[in-house]
Amino acid sequence: MKRPIIQFDNFSFKYRTQMDVTLKQINLTIYEGEKILILGPSGSGKSTLSQCINGLIPNSYSGDITGTLLVCNKEPAKVGIFEMSKSVGTVLQDPDGQFIGLTVAEDIAFSMENECVAQPIMKQKVQEAATLVSIDHLLEQPPQELSGGQKQRVSIAGVMTEQVEILLFDEPLANLDPAAGKYTIELIDQIHQLSDTTVIIIEHRLEDVLHRQVDRIIVMDNGEIVADMNPDMLLSGNILTTVGIREPLYITALKYANCKIQEHQKPSQLNSYITEIEKNNIQTWYNSYTKEKTQEKEEEILAIEKVFFSYANKRPVLQDVQFTIKKGEMISIVGKNGAGKSTLAKLICGFEQVNDGRILFRGKDMANDGIAKRAEKIGYVMQNPNQMISKSLIFEEVALGLIARGLSEEETKQRVEATLKICGLYPFRNWPVSALSFGQKKRVTIASILVLNPEIIILDEPTAGQDFRHYTEIMKFLEELNRNHGITILMITHDMHLMLEYTTRGIVIADGKLIFDQKTSEILTNSNIVEQASLKVTSLFELAKACEIENPIDFIESFIEYDREVREHGADAILHA
């Protein structure tokens, strides 16, 4: 029997600043050398649980604890953060907050510096750790020159120098492009296999984590543990749907095709799972389902013509980019970090000026329109809503742009209220912004753009860091704006599910060039494009191949349409239609 390394015993926790208990009667034992995934929607208490393990709770965030917790035979509440950091290494979610050093090498060395390790030993260990995560060629780089994925690898290298017994990863996939996320999961697996470290991953993106084997999954909801089992058992049950975690897409597809998910068949491994039965069922489902034809949009609204751009004296960011957008389209712009996606958005909004080429709105060159002028046609929503909100009341925040344009009080009130109604914020209009959740704040920022009546809205990573429930909420809202209010929507995103499900067309940018402009289902089945743009092939494609379906693109499209109908109306509605 393996030695228990973490033991929660009737453990409860309440933050001092909150009314309700966040963790309720937790009983959990984790054994030495295990690889554990702690899964749960936002607010389920999974991050709180991890902060109890590394000692941030109650040493940094105070509150009341009942019951006991032992980590490596120490009580985190008693011994403090420093003592715990000898046993538990934590990689935080925010790569920028975590990157403290002025260069990569210094950041890796940070905890050794604090331990007063002699310089020669430090240099050697930095080299070793950097090599392990393949960033040894970047040692002298400042954080500003690194991508999110590279910064995260620096953090991992940093904890690798500490020789801890437990490694804790807090939402490691939150800020990464798909390829970088895949690499991180592989890297964590490699570290786990090389050392006898216990690995704990906190995430809500199940399918991505299951890219590599985990021993056990703990599912949390409302501060309680609702499941503690191996991945195969979890996938064959229906707990995930209950708590609002998205199951892997191929599992959903198999369920639609009337396959019973069998634990002993190991559903966590797609390739070995498919037998003749599944193959037949999937093919039957596919052949019986006919999807609707989507209508082609006609009216051209925005044209990008041979656009070139580079920041002063630096390498070109965009080269010869050309595409058009039709009114009413909903489009994704994808590509790896630093490929030029955000720059493209900035050029369209007039934040930067093109070096060469033209940007036309309804056939008219916008070169002479300033930022404010363009904003009346094209709105831009930043990734972090906190960076846009400057008023304390919701009404004032949404009214800001109208007041600045000198509209009368009467008209301002009318337009703001109308917009708040569209955005479902009307009942909250007199609330302080600080009382809202992240998703609601996002709506406020969208409302503050929408109030200016733009025809196009550009959103930068609209769902970054959101769990499935909030993700769906935001995306449903955007879809409604698109369908019912005719607003053209352009999204910069890393999220492949988002691109597939909500947008019909994707523009792929790699190294400053437009390399693909096609239906989104075609992007994720083209391995060449996927690799160039740091994307990831969807598991539906693999499922289609395993089931020998001739036209995987069409299969994926059918699945998405079917899935959407199921989620909107329930499975019965389709069956009887």
Partner 1 sequence: MAQMLSYMHKDTWIHRLSGVTKMLYFILWSIVGMVTYDTRVLMVMFVISIILFSMSKTSFYQVKTVFTIIGIFLTINILAIFLFSPLEGTKIYQSRTDLLHLFGSYVITKEQLFYEFNVALKYFTVIPVALMFIVTTNPSEFAASLSKLGVKYTIGYSIALALRYIPDIQKDFTEIKRAQEARGLDMSKSAKFSHRVKNMMAILFPLIFTSLERIDTISNAMELRGFGKKKKRSWYRERPFTKTDYVSIAFIFIFSVLAFVVTFIDGTRFYNPFI
Partner 2 sequence: MKNNGNRIVVATGIGTALYIALSYVSIPLGFIPNTAIQPRTALLAFLAAIFGPFVGGAVGLIGHTLADALQYGSVWWSWVFPDALFGIAAGLFAAKYAIEEGGFGTKQIVLFNIVQIVANVVAWVVVAPVLDIVIYAEPANKVFTQGAFACLGNVITVGVVGTLLGLAYTKVKAKSSSLKKED
Per-residue x/- mask for partner 1, residues 402 to 431, rule CB under 8 A? x-xx--------------------------
432 binds partner 2 (CB under 8 A): yes
Choose the contact partner of 435 out of partner 1, partner 2, none; CB within 5 to 8 A by kind.
partner 2
Query: In terms of Cα–Cα distance, which of 497, 501, 496, 502 is closest to 533?
Result: 496
Q: How far is CA 553 from CA 24, 234, 335, 523, in A?
A: 46, 29, 20, 9
Q: Which of 42, 44, 85, 337 binds partner 1 (CB under 8 A)?
A: 85
Q: Rounded to the nearest whole angstrom, what is the least distance from the CB of residue 392 to partner 2 in the complex?
A: 5
102 binds partner 1 (CB under 8 A): yes
Residue that the structure tokens 């007063």 belong to: 116
Q: Which of 387, 430, 484, 528 binds partner 1 (CB under 8 A)?
A: 387
Tell me if the bond preceding 385 is cis, omega within 30° of 0: no
Query: Taking contact as CB under 8 A, which single stretch among the options 230-238, 377-385, 432-440, 535-543 is the one that binds partner 2?
Result: 432-440
Q: Which of 149, 181, 379, 552 binds partner 1 (CB under 8 A)?
A: 379
Q: Which of 10, 392, 437, 527 binds partner 2 (CB under 8 A)?
A: 392
- Determine the Cα–Cα distance for residues 223 and 203; give it in Å rounded to an integer: 15
Query: Taking contact as CB under 8 A, which single stretch among the options 183-191, 378-386, 410-418, 483-491 is the one that binds partner 1?
Result: 378-386
Q: What ranges make up the beta strands (E) of 432-512? A: 456-460, 488-492, 505-510
Choose the contact partner of 62 out of partner 1, partner 2, none; CB within 5 to 8 A by kind.
partner 2
Residue that the structure tokens 């030695």 belong to: 3
Q: How far is CA 66 from CA 20, 279, 369, 469, in A?
A: 14, 51, 62, 31
DSSP 102: S
100 binds partner 1 (CB under 8 A): yes
Nearer to partner 2, 13 or 309 (CB): 13
Tally Cβ neighbours within 10 Å of residue 454.
18
Q: Which of 368, 430, 484, 528 binds partner 2 (CB under 8 A)?
A: 430
Contacts made by residues 366-375, CB under 8 angstroms, sequence distance 24+: 374/348, 374/349, 374/350, 375/349, 375/401, 375/449, 375/452, 375/454
Q: Rounded to the nearest whole angstrom, what is the least distance from the CB of residue 384 to partner 1 in the complex?
A: 7
- Determine the Cα–Cα distance for residues 88 and 159; give it in Å rounded to an integer: 9
What dihedral angle (degrees, nearest 10) is formed by the CA atoms of 340, 342, 345, 350? -90
Choose the contact partner of 388 out of partner 2, partner 1, none; CB within 5 to 8 A by kind.
partner 1
Residue ranges in 15-54 that form contacts with partner 2 under rule CB under 8 A: 17
With both helix axes pointing from N to C terminus, report the angle between 148-160 and 119-132 in degrees, rounded to the nearest 10. 130
Tokens of 78: 């008693």
- Determine the Cα–Cα distance for residues 233 and 198; give it in Å rounded to an integer: 22
429 binds partner 2 (CB under 8 A): yes
Nearer to partner 1, 26 or 57 (CB): 57
418 binds partner 2 (CB under 8 A): no
Which secondary-structure segment (H or E) carries 349? helix 341-349
Tally Cβ neighbours within 10 Å of residue 128.
14
413 binds partner 2 (CB under 8 A): no
Nearer to partner 2, 317 or 389 (CB): 389
395 binds partner 1 (CB under 8 A): no
First to last CA, the chain: 55
Residue ranges in 66-125 that form contacts with partner 2 under rule CB under 8 A: none
Q: Rounded to the nearest whole angstrom, what is the least distance from the CB of residue 253 to partner 1 in the complex?
A: 39
Query: Taking contact as CB under 8 A, which single stretch among the options 23-31, 42-50, 117-125, 420-428 is the one that binds partner 1?
Result: 117-125
Nearer to partner 2, 183 or 428 (CB): 428
Cα 266 vs. chain centroid, distance in angstroms? 27
- Determine the Cα–Cα distance for residues 430 and 393; give it in Å rounded to an integer: 6
Q: Which of 296, 427, 575, 576 binds partner 2 (CB under 8 A)?
A: 427
Chain residues in the site for partner 1 (CB under 8 A): 54, 56, 60, 81-82, 85, 90, 92, 94, 96-98, 100-103, 105-106, 109-119, 122-123, 126, 142-144, 158-159, 162, 346, 349-351, 371-372, 374-375, 379-380, 382, 384, 386-390, 400-402, 404-405, 448-449, 452
Chain residues in the site for partner 2 (CB under 8 A): 17, 59-62, 392, 426-432, 434-435
